[in-house]
Structure 1
């Protein structure tokens, strides 16, 4: 059998052809992000956040992005090698988060994303990076609600489809009068105008709303700690980003950036936050 030899010129042409194919396919992945492209030579990174939660993740009318999750995600992206201008922000609504990760539409999600057993069947989590609790928001001058049981016979507001208010009625205050509105802003308006007596969801979300300029001094947190909500950063199942993000989160805590982000986003609401959680330690 004769062995076919490749000439030097032919070899060079073949190498150039392969290089062209490699660059083309790599470039397509870079601009599209997702599927764990971050850290594999990508030029951009796509991150899922909330667009409608002040203090957590908010897209402002002028197109900017603010909030604790935005600050955390920006820090993590920088540790992964991406500058703020390299980040593509994508809205991650609660019901869409697992799908966005599974399809590879985003590289990771930081969107008040509580770690739980059901979600861990579908995606992996780095963190937690914040321990929040279900709580209630009250009018600053209301002294009639000082403990969870005082919610009996009170009008308790939450958004349509949320389980927070129902949890209170089922487990804590069976006589609470549930009021469901389309959004938290409507609940806040109702609370301010004394149409409802309390608003319930995660304390971090409540603090974010209360910290807004138009609401400063009008509301207070009950501090009831009705549940533990471990916020994690979601990644596609099996992604090697989990370990890299955990390393970035540990650095963020140790260098003081975590404390700065908490004060910046929640401080105006006098949010009594838990200390930074130990990365990898989910509080039951």
Structure 2
């Protein structure tokens, strides 16, 4: 009898615990309506002007931020209910798997390898590897980089790909971040910077650089930016896809492109169709 009483007590305690959890313990990032008063955590970059940037005053700006804010609104959240979390490239899959964020909008290219670990909504932007050069530069194609100093960040394959396949006599320079590469371009320490055209356009659009640089307009790769979601969360993927389609149809997508990339004369592709990956 004593054993039975203990068992019944334990079972009752377990039920009460589960009930409490269901009522509020996991409410914060569940993706439920904002009427519940919860918050949603969204992964972005903090250091990419024009895409995902944490401003000195603590606010956030950029195309990815605008897309994420629009999507979160469609999921039922007001701007003050969105908590932006820095998700570095190497930690994006882990952040989703751990449940640190509900979704990630952070120049997150959709690849077959990544789709093994996370699910993607979108794509919402088609970017390309390109070159950023000075406004008066005579570099107009990748082969012009032979004998020139080409910069990218340490560990990036962008510059190495150009060196290996297009301009074997290019002199590679690796800096710790794109900010250093852009500063080097401004000072003349390097002749060109390479990465996704959207990232380059974001840097070039900063007030301190306006008019100084131009994109070469090359399409050295196709980068389909998607919104990462935890593997298996099909419901959220479907909701985000619907939100992205609405963002395009009501003109908000193009407004966000013009606002964040316009000063760099970024010739963006048309909004990609949901589920269509350009190889």
User: 2: distance between equivalents of 1:25 and 1:91?
Assistant: 28
Find runs of 4+ consecutive structure 1 residues off by over 3 angstroms: 17-21, 23-26
Partner of 2:213: 219
User: 1: distance between equivalents of 2:258 and 2:252?
Assistant: 10
Equivalences for residues 18-29 of structure 1 within 5 A? 22-29=19-26
Structure 2, unaligned stretches of length 5 or more?
1-11
Alignment TM-score, normalising by the size of structure 1: 0.90
Please say if residues 30 and 42 of structure 1, whose CA atoms lie closer than 8 Å, have aligned partners that are also in contact. no
Select the residue among 101, 108, 112 that pairs with 1:106: 101
RMSD over equivalenced CA pairs, Å: 1.6
SS of the aligned residue for 1:170 comes to helix
2:190 is the counterpart of 1:193: no
SS of the aligned residue for 1:48 comes to strand
Partner of 2:58: 63
SS of the aligned residue for 2:188 comes to coil
Partner of 1:76: 71
Out of 18-27 and 241-250, give the one that drifted further: 18-27
Aligned residues: 264
Q: How far does the alpha carbon of each residue in 1:106-153 deviate from its partner, in whole angstroms, 9 at most, with x for none?
A: 00000000000110010000000000000010001112x111111111
SS of the aligned residue for 1:101 comes to helix
Equivalences for residues 44-193 of structure 1 within 5 A? 44-143=39-138, 145-193=139-187
Partner of 1:4: none
User: 2: distance between equivalents of 1:217 and 1:166?
Assistant: 28
Structure 1, unaligned stretches of length 5 or more?
1-13
User: 1: distance between equivalents of 2:23 and 2:38?
Assistant: 10
